[in-house]
Structure 1
Amino acid sequence: MKMSLMIAAASLLGLAPVVSPTGGAQAAELKVLAGGSLRSLLTELAPQFEHASGHKLVIDFDTTPNLIKAATSGEPFDLGVVPIDVFYDAAAKAHFTPPVEFARVGYGVAVKAGAPRPDISTKQAFKKTLLDARSITFLPESAAGSYILRLFERLGIEEAMKAKTIAQAQPTGIIPAVVSGQAELAVFVNNVLTAPGVDIVGPFPPGLQQELVFPAALAVDTKQKEAAKAFIDFLMSPAAIAVIKSKGMTPGKG
């Protein structure tokens, strides 16, 4: 009966349970490299996948530079769920099979819940809001942070922003910095800003907005190919898509 319930749950989530010829589940432990900004998403999705499939996920969340190092370190892993910037590095890309996009997300600005919402509706208003802010916080050493830094350069405010930036080492530090009042504004991808304690002011204005793409790909030398592929398939399932949308993200093209 228990196995029948697992198979039914897996079917609803679009999974194919791995079952041995003798009827026992062949559970795999998958090491996953993941972008730090996906922590909230994958923390919600991982238990669903584990319950339906019987597999175990061991997820290492990190920044893009560190994910590139991990992929090229020689240490074994089974798949990556990472910012597309990881695949711009030729050495890292060589350790993955061709990726599939499962989600993308735009950039926005957030303030402490209940605080006045500044105008960011146009390029000039956005620039003025950044210059007028007492402090801002984001994660410079990341794919999203790299785009934000380039945007500051494009607006000609890079030096002014350096003086008021409270840099975070991981995405998990962004929301607490705003909630505590340490930083007035958070500037980052919207799925990280979709969190209790802050209000999203809105997206970057037209002409400055961009989407960060998140692909998933198997490691070329994974010994758990079928289980790893099952997780990627799960990320495209209706159950996963519902959670992706709830985090302010757009499901990928697959």
Structure 2
Amino acid sequence: MKAISSMATRHVLADLAAASAQAGLPELEIESVGGVDAAKRVAAGESYDLVFLASDALARLAADGQVDPATVRPLVLSQVAVAVPSGSTEPAIRPEGVAFTDADGVREALQAATRIGYSTGPSGTALVQMIDGWGLAGEVGDRLVQAHPGIPVAKLLADGEVDLGFQQLSELVGQPGVRILGVLPADCAIDTVFSSSVATTAADPAAAQAVLDFMGSDAAAQIKLAHSFGVPQ
């Protein structure tokens, strides 16, 4: 059984697929690429059994007939976090797990940063929109560095290409050369729900649906939490 996903969920999906196979369900081969590229490939008619993408991208594919709308379901909740290179003098992750007290702290950090790394996909788009909404585009716009599709912001931080980075927490946890300050505060949080669906090209839709049912079950919840994802309600 074949699937495609964005890079943001590749690790958690690998463990979910392994647990699903251990439960006696079909083995799943998952190709993880940039979310924008994944959506384009599905829209172009490439054949898959399952598709895992941000909810808005899946909604568009469902509307266009590439995935079965009746099978679309939330899979994981991802929060955007803030990080710096490990050698930075910024303090380590805050005890409460939040990078700054409020949006003012985030704005100040953006204004103080020399180079600001952000990702492709919905979280990166949301960050740029937030910066624009704060009226900071003119001030920090030329300092923004977008990671190429498939390249994590953590690598930009570790390689010294940026001194402040924004990406999903799950993509930053455990990466070398990175110190996580925490997730964005509630008044400027960027949360993305990644969803799952059965593709209309699925060879065995019922078997594909069984895999999704397992991934959405309580038995799979601990795997999601272990990868720093939330469980959508």
Query: Could you say which TM-score interval applies, normalised by the shorter chain?
Result: 0.7 to 0.9
* 1:151 shift after superposition: 0.9
* Residue 213 of structure 1, aligned match among 183, 188, 193: 193
**Residue equivalent to 1:5:** none
Report the 3-state secondary structure (helix = DSSP H, G, I; strand = E; otherwise coil) of the residue aligned with 2:4: strand
* 1:208 shift after superposition: 1.0
Identity %: 20
Distance 2:10 2:111 in 1: 30
Distance 1:79 1:114 in 2: 41
* Residue 104 of structure 1, aligned match among 77, 82, 88: 77
Unaligned runs of 5+ in 1: 1-29
Q: Give the TM-score of the pair, scaled to structure 1.
A: 0.79
Alignment: residue pair count: 223
Distance 1:160 1:32 in 2: 41
**Residue equivalent to 2:122:** 143
Q: Counterpart amino acid of 2:89?
A: P
**Residue equivalent to 2:96:** none
Distance 2:59 2:68 in 1: 14
Work out whether 1:152 is the aligned partner of 2:131. Answer: yes
Instruction: Please give the root-mean-square deviation of Cα atoms over the aligned residues, in Å.
Output: 2.2
Change (3 A) 1:138 1:92: farther
Unaligned runs of 5+ in 2: 92-98
Distance 2:25 2:139 in 1: 51
Query: Which portions of structure 1, spanning 4 or more consecutive aligned residues, are displaced by more than 6 angstroms?
Result: none
Greater relative contact order (Cα < 8 A, sep 6+)? 2
Q: Give the TM-score of the pair, scaled to structure 2.
A: 0.85
Distance 1:112 1:158 in 2: 24
Do 1:67 and 1:86's aligned partners in 2 also have CA atoms closer than 8 Å?
no
Work out whether 1:47 is the aligned partner of 2:22. Answer: no
* 1:159 shift after superposition: 3.2
Q: Counterpart amino acid of 1:127?
A: R
Change (3 A) 1:238 1:172: farther
Change (3 A) 1:111 1:92: farther
Do 1:175 and 1:195's aligned partners in 2 also have CA atoms closer than 8 Å?
no
Do 1:135 and 1:164's aligned partners in 2 also have CA atoms closer than 8 Å?
yes
Distance 2:220 2:104 in 1: 37
**Residue equivalent to 1:60:** 31
